[in-house]
Structure 1
Amino acid sequence: MNFKSQLNNFLTDCEKLIILGVGNELKSDDGVGPYIIKKLKEENIENKNLLFIDAQTVPENFTGKIRKENPTHLIIVDACLMDSQPGDMQIVNKYEFANIGISTHSMSLSFFVRYLEKDTDFRIIFVGIEPETMEMGEKPTLVVEKSANEFIEILKEIIL
């Protein structure tokens, strides 16, 4: 099943969606999550049933907000080392990304997800984008930026 189909299946019956971008904007491709959130906010499609959160490297700071918003669906987007080609985009099993994530975050994302799932029943997926470089740099590389923009377009097709 291709990425768009997987995302579409995940978003079936979605009533309220939060997209959480995670990453360090100062480390090139690790900033892909915040890059996506910034671009989505520029599209002016945010509404009471759609919320974009730029969590940077501290997603745990947003657990209260996420729980308060009580979404039906949460998509976490981050750079992810998956042993694939730079720019590859995959939906990663939320219990597997502990092994393939990037450790620039103060709390492991698998722990973060387990904490969020406690006493809630919303659905969570993790979208990983393979980085080309994690060197210091203020924006993603062209190949990762292209994938980020593709994710945005696929998301808009599904939710709009």
Structure 2
Amino acid sequence: MLGIGNELKCDDGVGPFVVNELKDLSNPNLIIINGQTVPENFTGKIRKEQPTHVILVDACLMGCNPGEFKIVNKNDFVNIGISTHSMSLSYFVKYLERDNDFKIIFVGIEPESMDYSDKLTQIVQNGAYKFINILREIL
């Protein structure tokens, strides 16, 4: 699982928030990475581990209510707003998929604010905890 986002831009930090909250899970088959704004720095680690699935978690503008989350089809990346990363996520996903057959699942969480702050808005934090609780049940 890879959390993506800028922890100093309010709700854009929801990806790192989610993975940091899940760090205590004791599952030897689960690798949790806080990719922050440079997920491409972890492609070597991901490819080396040869996972069956990669779950990417990031804030993105999908036209939902703040705090709502959903699985986003990788072909829809051009239609959603993800702009705080040094590499486009569509390129990142294509690179990961090259010569690998693992399944990539992208979960977007709708932000309320992308202003400078080191804390999530309450509504996005609540949505993040809902998602975290679902993950705890299935992982």
* Contact 1:98/1:109, CA 8 A, preserved across alignment: no
Task: Report the Cα distance in structure 1 between the residues aligned to 2:97 and 2:26, rounded to whole angstroms.
Answer: 24
1:66 aligned to which of 46, 59, 65: 46
The answer to whether the aligner puts 1:144 opposite 2:124 as a matched pair is yes
State the 1:156 CA deviation.
1.1
User: Match for residue 31 of structure 1?
Assistant: 13
User: Match for residue 76 of structure 1?
Assistant: 56
Aligned AA (2:6): N
The answer to whether the aligner puts 1:119 opposite 2:99 as a matched pair is yes
Count of aligned positions:
139
4+ aligned runs moved over 2 Å, structure 1: none
Q: TM-score, normalising length from structure 2?
A: 0.97
- DSSP 3-state at the match of 1:95: helix
Q: TM-score, normalising length from structure 1?
A: 0.84
* Contact 1:33/1:78, CA 8 A, preserved across alignment: yes
The CA RMSD measured in Å over matched residues stands at 0.9
- DSSP 3-state at the match of 2:7: coil
* Residues 11-65 of structure 1: per-residue CA shift (max 9 Å, x gap): xxxxxxxx10000000000000001111111xx2143310110000000000000
* Contact 1:23/1:34, CA 8 A, preserved across alignment: yes
State the 1:101 CA deviation.
3.2
Kindly tell me: are residues 116 and 131 of structure 1, through their superposed partners in 2, closer, same or farther at Cα, counting changes over 3 Å? same
**Unaligned 5+ runs, structure 1:** 1-18
Higher relative contact order (CA 8 A, sep 6+): 2
Aligned AA (1:47): N
Question: Counterparts in 2 of 1:1-160, with a 5 A limit?
Answer: 19-41=1-23, 44-159=24-139
Structure 1 range deviating more: 93-102 or 64-73? 93-102
State the 1:102 CA deviation.
1.6
State the 1:83 CA deviation.
1.1
Aligned AA (1:154): I
* Contact 1:23/1:78, CA 8 A, preserved across alignment: yes
Identity of aligned residues (%): 65
Task: Report the Cα distance in structure 2 between the residues aligned to 1:47 and 1:66, rounded to whole angstroms.
Answer: 17
